[in-house]
Amino acid sequence: MTDFDYDLFIIGAGSGGVRAARMASTYGAKVAICESYKVGGTCVVRGCIPKKLFVYASHVAEDFESAKGYGWSGDAPTFDWRTLLANKDAEIERLNGLYKQTLSNNNVDLYEKRGVLVDAHTIDLEGETITADKIMIATGGWPSTPDIPGIEHVISSNEAFHLESLPKSVIIVGGGYIAVEFAGIFNGLGVETTQLYRRDMILRGFDEDIRQTVQKEMFKKGVDIRVNTDVASIEKTDDGLVATLNDGSTLTADVIMYATGRVPATGNMGLEALGVAMRDNGAIIVDENFRTSVDNIFSLGDCTDRLQLTPVAIAEAMAFTATQFNNTPTPMDYEDVATAVFSQPPVGTVGLTEEEARSQYGDVDIYESDFRPLFHTLGGSEERTMMKLIVDKASDRVVGAHMVGLDAGEIIQGVGIALKCKATKAQFDATMAIHPTSAEEFVTMRDPVS
């Protein structure tokens, strides 16, 4: 025990913060956590969970069309936006309650207030002062928008979950996974959707074949993707929001949503005054044990701007608490982290892109498969699935696996285990296929492409 109120105080009750609080308490520490909004953080409140629910909702119309090929008939279902919002909100409240219960069950004190650092061991909670031996910053990230005329008229993904009515038209600015996912959501719900991206192809940083396939399939579904295009200014008129583009042309829509990146939510917390080192974008700089430049202050999750993924923040919390409170030094492993993009069709990916693999290993073999899934043969959709394996020729180890198509996220999770175990292409080949599935393609691709 220490002379402080708590052994560990955590600012930010998102996925990483809550896991760190629970585990540190399990190891015997006296722990408290503060949160100024809902417990659960970006993922539960305004990210992964509500977004995935919206993706499900937006796919129903397409599923109904597919059902006709399987003998189902009848009037097309009607959609009510406010019902979706109400049901989504109820689920978020349920999860918020579960997170609070988890903290309570693990003897973690929750302060539903904003925390600001007074000194290296003191936190101000809207007038109440708390002290702690160790402090963890886990405040996550926040959407960022450019400084252009009229930017005050736009929304971000935060507000997209709370629109009072479903717009008839929307412009989405950005080419990353959030922009791509919301383009699919709005388009699937019948909204005239235009996506603008200032570079030549969406999903920068992903494998090139993934990018090309997703962009092509989104076009086929009706999303108007305009690359090499950016917004110069926005004006609010009686007809809606008018975006003037960089070529001088204009577009009008009911809603303009920006998904042009997220920045660490570290401002106005007292970090600068304490000398906590940060990068220009506000990301907190930490060492391999999540320690900042101030010895007893730590940070993890999106506010450190490494891999902005919920499971990564949770794993970081597990490593941090084992190291600090269980006398078990635990390094964090960021290699071969599997992830998914819930675009339409979805993406699953793990390991290196082809470009990265060629740079790192030189001589690689590429295996690809492109096909129309069995479900669509009667369903009528022309949507295709693309799968790809990247193999280091010298060792035969599979160093990258990528997929676009139905259930990509579900399928790539298992493939991620194989890559983590450093499986070889020969071991993939020796694995018996499950037929008929799309997943079997990962173990039946025999001939590398030229």
The set of catalytic residues is 435
- Would you list the DSSP string of 291-332? B-SSTTEEE-GGGG-S---HHHHHHHHHHHHHHHHSS-----
The burial of 131, by beta-carbon neighbours within 10 Å (0-12 exposed, 13-18 middle, 19 or more buried), is given as middle
| 70 Cβ neighbours under 8 A, 6+ residues apart | 378, 379
Given a contact cutoff of 8 angstroms between Cβ atoms, the answer to whether 25 and 150 are in contact is no
**Residue 59's CB: how many other CB atoms inside 10 A?**
17
Given a contact cutoff of 8 angstroms between Cβ atoms, the answer to whether 46 and 40 are in contact is no
C-alpha 320/C-alpha 356 separation (Å) is: 30
The identity of residue 436, as a single letter, is P
Given a contact cutoff of 8 angstroms between Cβ atoms, the answer to whether 259 and 156 are in contact is yes
CA distances, 90 to each of 78, 134, 195, 311 (Å): 21, 35, 30, 24
C-alpha 107/C-alpha 324 separation (Å) is: 18
